[in-house]
Structure 1
Amino acid sequence: MITTGSGLVRRSAAVVAAALMVVAASAGCGAALDGGPSGSTEPEINPQPRSAISEGGSLTTALPEITPQWNIFHADSTAYAQTVWRWFNPTLAYFAPDGTYSFNRDFLTDVRTEVVDGKTVVTYTINPKAHFNDGTPIDWRSFDSTWRVSRGVDPSYVVSSTDGYDQIESVTRGVDDRQAVVRFEDIWAWPNGLFNYLMHPKAADAQTFNRGYLRNPHPEWGAGPYTISSYDANARTVVLERNPQWWGKRGKLDRRVFRQMEDQASLNAFRNGELDALSFASKDARAQVLTMGDIDIRTASSPQKSLLIVNLDAPLLSDPRVREGLLRGIDRATLARIRFTGLNFTEPLLGSLVMYPFQPGYTDNVSGVIDYDQGRARQLLDRAGWRVGDDGIRQRDGRSLQLSLPLLGDSPAVQNLARALQAMLRQIGIDIALPVRPNSDFSQVVINKEFDLFLMGFQSTDPYGTAYFCQIWCEGSQLNRAGAGSPELDAEIRKLARIADPKAQIARGNVLERQAFGQFSDLPLFNGPAMVATKQGLANYGAGQFYIGPVEDVGWQK
């Protein structure tokens, strides 16, 4: 895995993943993989029925960070926290690789969506066997708690996202406690993106919500086929075993283990047999795993977006002319070639942070707004008062135009990409420092904004990108780490959310995104491939597009 960090959970749809980052999620899109023709790529997860999977065994993989904030509804949580969360907490929604929704029948017996009096109403009927590990029934109160912490009304809750939840009028009891009726204020185009995970009612007060999960996963508030048997924050290891409280199908694995490791250490551990699967995205890692025996390499295009963000709070970047000049000085095509060298992968330049090129309604919203043009970049910087000094670096008022882009982890691929970016910007008189920090510093760097520029990624876990437009572009959004936005744009985004027809909402979203890119705060770089190397025989795991399936079916073929 290429990482300079992890990410922030984008509720139900996207996650800020590791910078540049390719994580173990994948998608079919218009790209050429391993010399294949340009076009969609089938996900590769080795799908197998339960009857073909052995009882027992373990699965050990690495994560760049065991995130301190375990509450995935909290703004400081990460993609990595969500990866672990799904193994021991209620997961109500499954998604096929193409993004098709289905509900988990171990938790729900029916989901009915209808329009009543001009409002979307979703009725969830809950499996009467469903309960949290501490014995608390999973009922309508769990849905009510999830809504109340996520709707954004109470500022004491530091939430990851309010998108969709802020459109709900009420969550009420249905025919009995085991039915939740969710009524929206109007017609909501994306109801299947909500309530895919649930918050335990005991964690729903603000103090517990914000602080209760810090370095404490609270397995007693979870539910599912597995539960945490040990969590060692010092050894940076999480071990899960079968949950005796589980009422559904028995998990095939005896143990599921997550270990926090840097990129090179995880590659070495995989080669030594200490890890059973490895997500990677560099030519060097690919070359090494290709030499190994009894290994499968599972590859698909990835529903993630790598981008460069510009810290608008940094004094040297407050002038939009400086930001525009900086971004126009970056040759994204060259960066993409560097990124994909040795991977036999190509793709068109990325033009959106909301939609993917393989989705209906996608348009390139970057072209014409932020085009590579170093001549224009120099003009903008000149007009902003930054003049080239004797050393080639621009100066103004006795200060040099020197910016910091921290790199997290030890990935050579990330370092090569950053050095290329550094060289490009030096050509227009901007000096970029590249301090290196461990992957485990990701949360600190991002939350405290300890950067001028930063490489990050959004990873989608469902196909409803426009539903989460506000997460990326609203002023003050926890996912808007650049600090962009304005009251005027926020007002337009609120109007966007109320467009009932999905196609019309996507079309209007494309217009607004072009305006948003005009803030010169975020530059999309590429989607890229997901590549997962596994020991042979690992089933229902790998490069799976939008795939989210039952963890109890992950295991080793007979």
Structure 2
Amino acid sequence: MISRTVSHHNTLLPDAGPRQRPLRVTALLGLTVLALTACGSAASTSPGAGVASGEPVEGGTLVYAEVTPINNWQTQSARFYEKSNVLNSVLDRLTYFDADQGEVVPWIASEFSGNADSTEFTFTIRPDVTFSDGTPVDAEAVKLNLDAQGFGIEAAQIQPNVDFAGYESAEVIGADQVLVTLSSPNANFLRATTSVTAGLVSPATLELDAAGQSAIAQISGSGPFTFESEKPDEEVVLAKRPDYAWAPETADNQGDAYLDRVVIKYLPEVAHRAGAVQSGQVDLARGLQPVDEEALAATGHQVLPAPGVDLTVNMAAVRIGSGKLADENVRRALQIGIDRESLKNTVLSDSYELAASVLNHQAPGFIDLSEELGYQPEEARQLLDDAGWKVGANGIRAKDGTDLEVTVTSSNNSVVIKPAFELIEQQWREIGVKLNNRAGDNSFLASAMPDPEVEFFGTRQFIYGGLGPIFEPENNTMTHTSDDDLNTIFAAERAATSVEERDELLADEQHALVVDKAYSLVLWDEVQVYGAHSGTQIDFTSGTAPVFQGAWKTGG
């Protein structure tokens, strides 16, 4: 049995002195979540970057520059930064992953527990919480949300949350408790309730049609900020809720936000972001390119790398639909045909750490496979020879009349993804493989995602439900890969009943994905590098989202 109980009344402090956090009880939460240890915060800055400090300042508007406009705000599809970074401040969740403590802690659920085989979870709902439309966040509202997550909403064309594997039912038991029953063990379920994709919305929001649930103006959450206004494709303005008093248990700010408003503007031009911070046009910008980091820090502003320990590493996820990568020897050759040290030295900055597994270094259960990832071009050539791919007159390998020519697609969310694959393109050419680099091309991405013959997706994915939801489903458009051997391990990991058993299975998953089967060509640990004005105080979640509820500004 795992459990987590907290006295709700102890979280509100009577004075303005230093806040003290209650002692933590970890129990077996390390098993029931793919819990992740340290997270980036304002303390993780590049040399020379200064962080605003001192007592919080009340009031003001923070201007935040995001990368790309969002036109669909439906909660369960908030698996992209542009959407989750905004909805993080609009939607509360049952639980919260506290990065400093490395564990799941109470939020809207003041207590939670799970049975020994991870098929039942009980949540006690915190009293006196309301959605922005005035309705209560009570057990019945939570049940409706869990059902929407577990089953989807057919009338609104909303699919089930992929992290809610095995969801069977939610039942209100008593006035303030909800019992969730799963049809099969899922030790990652509790972790899934911390995700923005599991954000709670009012019952009225759940009754809206697809268009209504996609419009941020119509979404009613219980978060510290609410929708105020929108200029499509230009900006979204959020206003604080003055009555907000139910932050996660370990949040430093237990009351309403210090800021009055947050203005989210869109700044797709990566070269303009550092300048916008320096000039004071924006207080915070996501997606700082490496060449701008040192210059921004040198002018007294902040470079804030926010590690994405809720995600996989950045990787080229293999898709075997074209048949060219069906042989694991070919995939292994491409894995060791990447010179990662050269990637670090020529494309990345000190904000980035080279990947050593499909999990980030801070993830519990992480195993270091860096010795298996050394650059070995001669061995790569031999593996390709053994697989029957022979070098042609043009220097490109071929087999049965087909060139070993592969394509990578990705979004433009990472500022280094395109130059990284430009370097990999050169490295693979040396072993006889031609790479068509379409990384960072969003228009190509739209057509490439449903096409199983596009061999690589440059990506990083949230792992709230573990690695299984990423690589397991046969209809997964991300990888178009499903492997029976791996799926057996994924199922066993969900059913693990001890930390030791889980870690052993996680090690098996990582070794298979990175070395034996090489479905994940790993590159660097996920990190989102933010630029912040010198007067901005901001922390980030373990999913790299800015925490506006605890943010403030100094100096105007």
Whether 1:265 aligns to 2:272 is: yes
Q: Paired residue for 2:406?
A: 403
Deviations 1:409-454 (A, max 9, x none): 4987444322210111000111122246555876665466694323
- Please report how far the alpha carbon of residue 203 of structure 1 lies from its aligned counterpart in structure 2 after TM superposition: 5.3
CA displacement 1:9-54 (0-9 Å, x = unmatched): xxx9799xxxxxxxxx62799xx98689xxxxxx997676xxx333
Q: Give distance in 1, aligned partners of 2:239 and 2:153.
A: 37
Equivalent position of 1:358 in the other structure:
362
Provide the C-alpha distance between the structure 2 equivalents of 1:264 and 1:57, rounded to a whole number of angstroms. 27
Aligned residue in 1 for 2:130: 131
Alpha-carbon distance between aligned partners in 2 of 1:486 and 1:516, rounded to the nearest angstrom: 10
Q: Which digits, 9 at most, give the CA deviation of each residue in 1:494-527, with x for residues without a partner?
A: 2221111123212122123323443332111121
C-alpha change, 1:519 and 1:299, in structure 2 (3 Å) is closer
What's the offset of the Cα at 1:289?
Answer: 0.6
1:158 maps to a residue whose letter is Q
Partner of 1:146: 145
Q: How far did residue 240 of structure 1 move?
A: 0.9
What is the aligned partner in structure 2 of residue 255 from structure 1? Answer: 261
Identical columns (%): 19
Q: Which residue of 2 aligns with 1:161?
A: 162
Structure 1 residue 208: Cα displacement:
4.2
Give yes or no for contact 1:95–1:547 (8 Å, CA) kept in 2: no
Q: List alignment gaps of at least 5 residues for structure 1.
A: 1-11, 16-24, 37-42
Task: Give the stretch that moved more between structures: 421-430 or 375-384.
Answer: 375-384
SS of equivalent residue, structure 2 residue 460: strand
Task: Quote how far apart the aligned CAs of 1:185 are.
Answer: 6.0
In structure 1, what is the equivalent of residue 296 of structure 2?
Answer: 289
* 1:533 aligned to which of 531, 535, 551: 531
The question of 1:26 aligning with 2:37 is answered no
Paired residue for 1:19? none
> In the alignment, is residue 481 of structure 1 matched against residue 484 of structure 2?
no
Count of matched residue pairs = 503
Instruction: Out of 501-510 and 521-530, give the one that drifted further.
Output: 521-530
Letter in 2 for 1:505: R
User: Separation in 2 of the partners of 1:396 and 1:123?
Assistant: 57
Distance across 1 between alignment mates of 2:364 and 2:345: 26
Change (3 A) 1:436 1:243: same
2:491 aligned residue (483, 490, 494): 494
Q: What code does the residue aligned with 1:171 have?
A: A
Question: What is the SS of the residue equivalent to 1:221?
Answer: coil
1:95-494 mapped onto 2 (5 Å cutoff): 95-98=97-100, 99-104=102-107, 107-108=108-109, 110-113=110-113, 115=115, 120-128=120-128, 130-151=129-150, 157-162=158-163, 165-167=164-166, 170-176=169-175, 178-183=176-181, 189-190=187-188, 192-196=190-194, 197-202=199-204, 204=206, 208=209, 212-214=212-214, 216-235=215-234, 237-243=235-241, 249-262=255-268, 263-280=270-287, 282-293=289-300, 295-299=301-305, 303=309, 304=311, 305-341=313-349, 343=350, 347=353, 350-354=355-359, 356-365=360-369, 368=372, 372-406=375-409, 408-409=411-412, 413-435=416-438, 445-446=448-449, 451-458=454-461, 468-476=466-474, 478=476, 481-494=478-491
Contact 2:407 2:438 in 1 (8 A): yes
CA contact (8 A) 1:253 1:554 kept: yes
Q: Give the conservation status (yes or no) of the 8 Å contact 2:47–2:297.
A: no
The alignment's TM-score, normalised by the length of structure 2, stands at 0.76
TM-score (norm 1): 0.76
Q: Partner of 1:532: helix, strand, or coil?
A: strand
Confirm or deny that 1:504 pairs with 2:497. no
Pick closer, same or farther for the CA change 1:476–1:511 going to 2, 3 Å: same
Shift of 1:193: 1.5
Task: Write the letter of the residue equivalent to 2:69.
Answer: I
**Which residue of the other structure, out of 79, 82, 87, is the alignment partner of 2:84?**
82
Does structure 2 retain, via aligned residues, the 8 Å contact 1:538–1:554?
A: yes
Task: Specify whether residues 122 and 511 from structure 1 end up closer, same or farther in structure 2 by C-alpha distance, changes over 3 A only.
Answer: same
Query: For each residue in 1:180-237, what CA deviation from the matched residue of structure 2 results, as whole angstroms up to 9, or x when unmatched?
Result: 23355687645642433324445557x946x6544x22544322221112233333x2
Q: CA deviation at 1:528?
A: 6.1
Per-residue CA shift, 1:382-420, capped at 9, x if unaligned?
A: 344433222212234444332223465498744432221
Look up the SS of the partner of 1:26 in the other structure.
Answer: coil
Q: Return the alpha-carbon distance in structure 2 between the equivalents of residues 432 and 103 of structure 1.
A: 47
Does the alignment pair 1:524 with 2:525?
no
Residues 230 and 489 (structure 1 numbering): CA distance in 2 closer, same or farther, change over 3 Å? same
SS for the counterpart of 2:457 is strand
User: Counterpart of 2:367 in structure 1: which amino acid?
Assistant: T
- The DSSP-based 3-state class of the residue aligned with 2:510 is helix
Q: State the partner residue of 2:250.
A: none
Deviations 1:276-298 (A, max 9, x none): 023455431112213424x2334
- Residue of structure 2 in register with 1:21 after alignment: none
Do the aligned partners of 2:46 and 2:304 also contact (CA within 8 Å) in 1? no
Q: In structure 2, what is the Cα distance between the partners aligned to 1:239 and 1:455?
A: 31
Q: For 2:387 and 2:187, locate their aligned partners in 1 and report how far apart those are by CA, in whole Å.
A: 43
Unaligned runs of 5+ in 2: 1-32, 247-254
SS of alignment partner, residue 395 of structure 1:
strand
**What SS does structure 2 have at the residue aligned with 1:403?**
strand
Whether the 8 Å contact between 2:228 and 2:239 is mirrored in structure 1 is yes
- Give the secondary structure class of the aligned counterpart of 1:316: coil
